[in-house]
Chains A and B, each alone.
Chain A
Amino acid sequence: MTALLRTDGITKSFGGVRALNGATIDVAEGTVAGLIGPNGSGKTTLFNVITGYERADAGEVYYGDKAITNAAPDKVFAAGVGRTFQLTRIFPRLTVIENMLIAAQTKDKPKNVLAWFGRDAWTHHRRHALDLLAFVGIERHANVLAGSLSYGQRKLLELAYVLVAEPRVILLDEPAGGVNPTLINHIADRIRELNAEQGKTFLIVEHNMEFVMGLCSTITVLESGATVVSGPPDIVRTDKRVLDAYLGADLEEDSDDHPAE
């Protein structure tokens, strides 16, 4: 199995706080990988570095065999790495369908200036966008303002509009956070379906252990910005270092919350 997304010794500091300290992660193509760790362990920072929202101080990010370290967010997205945010980032004053169309930008560049001003430039995306909304189950809300959606629906919308651009890898930051159990199952099913039928690769940050253990085939544990262990759920679950990291072997280390989390 080849790694589709790989980071190698990523280091990132915010002032005096070292958020990432040699974080290394391997995501094989066609798998659902999990990334767990205590609060402040640098999971979101690692996501930000991979997707270009933060610059790494050291280390490399590879997509396939191409280094994409510190590429701009739009370049990373266009290359095929989509992501969602812990606190969803949708466009609240655009309608749901308009949110979807914004994400379709990367798929076609208007041929000339006039096409830029025309509206039929995206007509052919609408069908696809509606299909994806139906897939996540919010197609009824296509014409309402995205800001009026519930929190769970926003998560679904964000997932759907990341899918518009047909990324090969999708990074989900706490897809089950703050969402009711029924919706959590719904989201898990959608991820399984995308993975099984379209071969999409996922990297998921999540605190809900049931969700992660049930979904992911490999799990990487991050602690204080460094990779502690990586392997199948059963191995990770029983690893002593993981238990220490979560239950807190020594409590002095509890103060490593950093601003990006």
Chain B
Amino acid sequence: MSDLITEPGGKERGMKQLDRSLKAAGLVAVAVIAIGFPKAFPNPAITNYGVYAMIYVTVASAWNIFSGNTGYISLGQAVFYGSGAYALGAAASGWHFTGTAVFELLPFAGLVGAIIAVPVGLIALRVRRHTFIVITIAFFFIFQLMAFNLSFTHGTIGMNAPFLSWSAAGYNTPFYYIAMAYAAGTIAIAWLIRRSRFGLQLRAIRDDEDRARGLGVRTMRVKLSAFVISGAITAMIGSVWFYYVTQVQPSSGFDPLFDLTIVLMAFLGGYGSIIGTALGALIVEPVTLWLNTQPQFSGGYLSEILLGAVFLVVILFMPRGIFPTAGEWITRIRTRGRPAVVPATTVGVAASSVPATSVGSGSSGSSGGAR
């Protein structure tokens, strides 16, 4: 953030103003497109893409709030997604909510996600890097098994959502706007966190956790807070998804592919970057959805192979993601070989090679860096 301390002079201020108005114009354009989308394409088959895209923008951005800032790669985001779905289903049937009143239960789903995140976080956040990833996978399977075996989740049959008496033609649009509100809200929260003291602490933990603690950062509290925020948002959007598709089974609510897809979205768009993550979701989700619905790909298994292949390519050749890599190219072209001014911006985190390996590395002196 260049506005952190500099007191820009005349020319710089002019640039800054231009930059700011460009950003504002971009934001308005994005808002107009997002809001106008279901009006321009009212076909339910198309709005379905919109709903899913917005759901995944929300989940990927929520994942990014925790994993992107702290460097702790979580492969258990489905724990919250599925839990939110089941929480909404159980609450709606238990407390007899029907129709649009079910939406009043969204905060409850968020609360369930937050409550689940506390013990899970307290256990998983004791370990770092690869061990943390394995623990999150373990939690994922614990939750999937619980969904299979607990009595209120009804095993493999799963749960059905209360009936919503909307016409088929107008069914998707309200869901689209709800998911869009969540996506916008999550991105706003991610942005607020990024520029706050809290966000700074999270990123210090990513760079050198022990040193941060030595300097007085309450690392566990800070990590857990981000984990809880991320879990609560994911649970809420999971319950929206459940109401939208009207049913949830253990295999769909707690889907291992879901976890991988979220991570792919973040890495493809730009690990740690707010815009990059959202962009990654907007690219990946419609493509997988389209592949899944193509009969010649026989039920979608080919799309999963493709997904895996894209993942490999991204990790091997663009570990920093499309967005930061493209930004780097632009800088290189603009400076034409002259030594570039080191970007002081925090968007598009400069990760060294594969970020997972540089997470909280003790002797971080040589890792990371601006170039």
Binding site for B on A (CB under 8 A): 51-53, 72-74, 77-78, 85, 87-95, 97-98, 101-103, 105-106, 110, 116-119, 121-122, 126, 130, 142-145, 147-148, 151, 154, 161, 165
Contacts and interface: CB of A to CB of B under 8 A. Distances in A.
Given A90-B365, A117-B196, A145 B344 contact: yes
Contact of B214 (A77, A87, A122, A145): A77
Given A74-B215, A91-B204, A143-B344, A116 B196 contact: yes
A102 B195 CA distance: 13
A142 B344 CA distance: 9
A148 B217 CA distance: 24
B200 interface: yes
Nearest to A73: B214
Contacts of B332: none
Complex A-B, nearest 7 residue pairs according to Cβ-Cβ distance, in ascending order: A147-B369, A73-B214, A143-B344, A106-B216, A92-B368, A148-B370, A91-B207
Contacts of B350: 93, 145, 147
Contacts of B217: 74, 102, 105
B364 interface: yes
A26 to B, nearest CB: 24
A148 B369 contact: yes
Q: Which of B203, B208, B217, B218 has the most CB of A within 10 A?
A: B208
27 contacts: A51-B214, A53-B210, A74-B218, A77-B215, A78-B216, A89-B363, A92-B207, A93-B351, A94-B207, A95-B344, A95-B346, A98-B4, A102-B200, A102-B204, A102-B212, A103-B215, A116-B197, A117-B193, A117-B196, A119-B195, A143-B344, A145-B343, A145-B344, A145-B369, A145-B370, A147-B350, A154-B365
A54 B156 CA distance: 51
B220 to A, nearest CB: 11
B192 interface: yes
B371 A148 contact: yes
Nearest to B369: A147
A206 B236 CA distance: 56
Given A93-B203, A93-B207, 18 more contacts: A72-B213, A73-B210, A73-B214, A74-B213, A89-B365, A91-B208, A92-B364, A92-B365, A92-B369, A94-B203, A97-B4, A116-B196, A144-B344, A145-B342, A145-B344, A145-B369, A147-B350, A151-B365
A143 B367 CA distance: 19
B349 A93 contact: yes
Q: Which of A85, A88, A93, A126 has the most CB of B within 10 A?
A: A93
Nearest to A107: B216
Contacts of A117: 192-193, 196-198
A102 B344 CA distance: 17
B223 interface: no
Nearest to B349: A93
Contacts of A87: 363, 365
A101 B217 CA distance: 11
Contacts of B342: 144-145, 148
Contact of B2 (A78, A92, A143, A148): A143
B36 to A, nearest CB: 32
Contacts of B367: 92, 147
Interface string B190-232: 0011011110110110111011111111100000000000000
Contact of B211 (A89, A121, A145): A89
Nearest to A85: B211
B6 interface: yes
A61 B217 CA distance: 23
Contacts of A144: 342, 344, 370
A102 B5 contact: no
A136 to B, nearest CB: 16
Nearest to A117: B196
Contacts of A143: 2, 4-6, 344
Nearest to B272: A93
B197 A118 contact: yes
A253 B62 CA distance: 56
Interface in B177-194: 192-193
Nearest to B212: A102
A74 B204 CA distance: 14
Nearest to A144: B342
Given A143-B4, A148-B342, A118 B370 contact: no
A126 B6 CA distance: 10
A126 B200 contact: no
Contact of A126 (B5, B210, B216): B5
A24 to B, nearest CB: 24
A148 B215 CA distance: 22
Contacts of B365: 87-90, 92, 151, 154
A165 B216 contact: yes
A144 B339 CA distance: 14
